[in-house]
Chain A
Amino acid sequence: MIKKAIKTVSIFLFLLLYIDNKSQIYSAKANATEVSFLSEAPLENIEAVNKGGIVVLNANGNQVQARITIMNFKFKNALMEEHFNENYMESDKYPNAFFKGRIIENVDYSRQGEQNVNVEGELEIHGVKKQVILPAKINIKGKEIEVYSKFKVKVADYNIKVPSLYVKNIAEEVDVTIKSTLEPFTKK
C-alpha cells in the first residue's frame, strides 16, 4: 500500500519536474544573437561582428548556455578575417566557443524590466576552458527576455598567441559584447 503510494507520488513528481523543466526554457530567436568584439591597440582598432550564435536560458535553475560559430565573425578586412580564423582562433580545430553557467542571483521572471545580474560559469574559447564571472543584464519584456553582457577576454588566457611584432596592432584584452533576445522554447 505504502509502496504503491510512493510509486504514484514519484511518478507524479517526475512528470511534474519533466513538464516544469520544459516550460521554463527560453531560447534565442532566430538571428537575434549578436556577439561582437573590439580590440583597441595603439596602431589600429579591430572590430568584428558575429550573428551565428545561440543563447539558451533555463529559468528554472537559472542556467545559461551559449554557443557561437567562430567562422561567422565578420571583419571589414577579409584578409584580417582569414588570418583571424587561420592563425589566431584556428577555427578548423576549434570551430565553436561555448559558455555554460548559471545566474548567481535569484531572478524574478515575473517582474517586467531590467535587472542586473552576474553569471558564473565556464567559458570555452580556442579549446581552453576558464571559470569566469560575467556581469550581465536581463530585461524581461512580456514573454521575451533580452540578455546583454559586456566583458573583457584576455587573449593570452585562452592560449591565443600574438607575435611580438603585432603587440601594437592587437590588444591584450579584447572587449566582448553579447546580446540576444530569447523567447519561450517550444519543441518543433
Chain B
Amino acid sequence: MVRIFLLLIFCFTFRAQEDLLALVGDKPVAPKHVFATFKTFRLGNAQTTETVKKNHLDFRIAHRFGNLYDNTLNNPLNAAAQNMFGFDVVEDIRFSLDYGITDDITLGIGRSRMNKLIDGCIKWRFLKQTTDFKIPVTLTFFGDIGYSHAPTTKIYEGVIKDFSTNELHRLNYASQLIIASKINNSFSLLLLPTYIHRNYVRLEINTHNQSEIPNSFFSLGMGARIKITKRVSIIGDYFQNLHAFYFKNKDYNMPLALGVEAETGGHVFSLFFTNASGLIENNFISITKSNWANGQVKFGFNISRTFSLGR
C-alpha cells in the first residue's frame, strides 16, 4: 500500500514538473555539420573550403604592395625608404566577383594585373565535416582557367619564334582539392594538393640541376588558422612545388604567407606578409620569385564585401 501511495505522490510530482517536450517526442537538435571552418574564401594566398552562400555575391579587391626591403639591391635601406617600404609599388591587383549558385557551388570571375590574366573559376564543396568527426574533413574542389590578354610580343618575349602564334598559348589552368579540418573552435588546418598546367612556357633552366621549366607540375599547399579572440586570428599558408625545376632554383621561391585576419560584422580583413606577387593560383604557385631570406616580403590585403541578392 505504501508503494501505491508513493506511486500516487510520484504521479502528482511528475505532473508538476513534467518534461512536456520529451513527452511529445521533441529532442534538442545539435548541429550535424561543422560550420565556419574558416571565415572567408581565402586564408592568405591559399583558398579555403568556404564558398559563397546561395544568392550572395562577393566582391573582392586583393592587393600586393612591393617589397618591404630588398637586400639584393645596392643600397637596400635607401631604396626601401624611397618607396615607403613597398607602398609605392604595385605588384598585383585583382578584382573578382564570386556568386553562390547554391550554398556549396560558387562561380567566379577575376582579373589580375600580373600577366594581364582574366580568369574564371568554380568551387564546389562536396563533403562536409561532421561535428562528431565521423567525417573528419571538409572537401572542396577548386578549378580555375586563366587567359592572359598581354600583347603577343610580351607572351613570346625573348623567344626565337620558329612556330606560329597560337591563341591557346595564352591559357593556363589550376585545379585543387582543398582538404580542411576544424580541429576545434580555435584551430583549423588546410591541405591543398594542386595541379598546375600552362599551355605555353618560355624555356628556363634551373642551373642547380639542369631541369627545364615544366608545363605542368604538382604542388602541395598547407595552411592553418589559429583564433586568438573570437574575431581575430593568426593565419599562415605555404606551397611546395613538387618538380625538380623548383628545387634549389635561384630564381624561384615557394610562396609563404603569414598574417592576421579580423572580422568586423559584414567584412573580413586579411592583412599579411608574403613573398608571392600573384593573387591567383595560376600565377603565384608557378611564378613566385621573391625570397623571405632577402627581405623581399610584400604587404598584402584582401577586402571583401558580400551582397545578398534575391531572397
Contact = CB atoms under 8 A, between A and B. Distances in A.
Q: How large is the interface on A (under 10, 10 to 19, 20 to 34, 35 or more residues)?
A: 35 or more
B30 to A, nearest CB: 5
A92 B8 contact: no
Given A11-B4, A83-B265, A92-B185, A77 B308 contact: yes
Interface in A75-105: 76-80, 82-83, 85-87, 91-92, 95-96, 98
Given A78-B306, A79-B266, A92-B131, A87 B230 contact: yes
Nearest to B50: A82
Nearest to B19: A65
Which applies to chain B's interface (DSSP): helix, strand, loop or mixed?
A: loop
A185 interface: yes
Nearest to A97: B28
Contacts of B265: 80, 83, 166, 169
Given A13-B8, A79-B266, A71 B306 contact: no
Given A77-B308, A78-B308, A79-B266, A61 B21 contact: no
B23 interface: yes
Contacts of B18: 21, 58, 61, 63
A128 interface: no
B20 A86 contact: no
A52 B29 contact: yes
A86 B24 contact: no
Which applies to chain A's interface (DSSP): helix, strand, loop or mixed?
A: mixed
Interface string B7-32: 11001100110111101111011110
A14 B3 CA distance: 13
B154 interface: no
Interface string B247-273: 000000000000000011110000000
Interface in B260-300: 263-266
B20 A63 contact: yes
Interface stretch (A2-10, A107-115, A129-137, A141-149): A2-10
Interface in A152-188: 163, 165-166, 169, 185, 188
20 contacts: A6-B4, A10-B8, A14-B8, A25-B20, A56-B23, A56-B26, A58-B20, A63-B18, A63-B20, A65-B20, A65-B21, A67-B28, A77-B308, A82-B36, A86-B36, A92-B34, A92-B131, A95-B28, A185-B23, A188-B25
